[in-house]
């Protein structure tokens, strides 16, 4: 806490215009990491005071700097990997998110989709996905081992996209995280989506990322943007992992309340626009 107070005081002592200081405070209120804020301050310090007092110039400068710190996955609909695995902590909405994407691929893009679930731990997890599969018209296979995973993928060889729901795990549950690691090491070419709730505390988020560091490659997928008033976690995670953002969800409605990650929208949100407030929940 003292460290945060010191940094705020330090920022106030820097010779910044009121306009610049207001934007810096907005980023802090959005819980953007201090490492990112310090980079922005160093750029602003090089400006003349006339430029610092030009709000359009300042906003555009900060916008462009934040844009450099965010990576967004392009052309998500034309997947090269047909097996999409959804991993992440408990309670982040993996199953619902998977159903939303399945509806997008199946109903909108006319892709043949198959469901696989290894989430046999959570009560009613299979029933929840079975309900979605029945509604959308997608077959579902339940698996219990890496070998069954390979067999299920082979049985879906006629599908364009195979979506795999994994059991949510606490980032402190090392044993069950190793179960996931064994599943993903089954010699099947996959694309992993690491699903994180936008309402996760940043300290916990860093611990989650450390726990899933056995994933060599993944895309970031943030859920529940409508359930938090700050979105700094999105740019922080993209900045530190260098992994691309894929999708955002902002409500429970299936197949709605999901969109491709939009760099412009998230940056404008960080700069004070209340874009995700009042979304469906």
When the candidates are 3.40.50.300, 1.20.1110.10, 3.20.20.140, 3.30.70.141, the CATH number that belongs to 83-262 is 3.40.50.300
pLDDT digits (tens, 9 = 90+) for 182-212: 777 766 788 999 999 999 999 999 999 998 8
Chain-wide mean pLDDT for the chain?
86
Beta strands in 153-232 (DSSP E): 161-165, 191-197, 219-223
Please give the Cα distance from 105 to 77 (Å, whole number). 8
The H helix count followed by the E strand count for the chain is: 12, 8
pLDDT at 274 over 50: yes
Question: pTM (2 decimals)?
Answer: 0.86
pLDDT digits (tens, 9 = 90+) for 239-249: 999 999 999 99
- pLDDT for 280 equals 42
Q: How many CA atoms lie within 13 A of 228 on its CB side?
A: 23
31: left (phi over 0), alpha (psi -120 to 50) or beta: left
Which band of pLDDT confidence, cut at 50, 70 and 90, is reported for residue 272? confident
Which residues have CB under 8 Å from 148's CB, separation 6+? none
Please state the rounded mean pLDDT for residues 93-113. 90
pLDDT digits (tens, 9 = 90+) for 125-135: 688 888 889 98
């Amino acid at each position: 806490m003292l460290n945060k107070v010191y940094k705020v005081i330090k920022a106030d002592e820097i010779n910044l215009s009121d306009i610049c200081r207001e934007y810096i405070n907005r980023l802090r209120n959005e819980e953007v990491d201090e490492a990112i804020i310090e980079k922005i301050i160093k750029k602003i310090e090089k400006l003349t005071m006339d430029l610092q007092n030009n709000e359009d110039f300042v906003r555009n400068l900060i916008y462009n700097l934040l844009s450099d710190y965010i990576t967004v996955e392009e052309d998500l609909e034309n997947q090269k990997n047909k097996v999409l695995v959804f991993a992440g902590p408990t309670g982040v909405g993996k199953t619902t998110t998977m159903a939303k994407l399945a509806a997008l691929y199946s109903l909108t893009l006319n892709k043949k989709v198959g469901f696989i679930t290894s989430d046999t731990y959570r009560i009613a997890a299979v029933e929840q996905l079975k309900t979605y599969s029945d509604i959308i018209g997608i077959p579902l296979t339940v698996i219990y081992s890496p070998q069954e995973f390979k067999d299920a993928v082979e049985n879906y060889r006629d599908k364009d996209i195979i979506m795999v729901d994994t059991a949510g795990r606490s980032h402190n549950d090392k044993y069950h995280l190793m179960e996931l690691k064994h599943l993903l090491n089954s010699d099947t070419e996959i694309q992993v989506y690491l699903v994180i709730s936008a309402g996760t505390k940043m300290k916990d988020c860093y611990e989650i990322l450390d726990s899933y560091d056995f994933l060599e490659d993944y895309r970031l997928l943030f859920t529940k943007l409508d359930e938090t008033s700050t979105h700094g976690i999105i740019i922080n995670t993209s900045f530190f992992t260098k992994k691309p953002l894929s999708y955002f969800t902002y409500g429970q409605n299936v197949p709605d309340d999901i969109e491709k990650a939009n760099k412009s929208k998230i940056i404008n949100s960080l700069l004070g626009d209340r874009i995700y407030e009042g979304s469906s929940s």
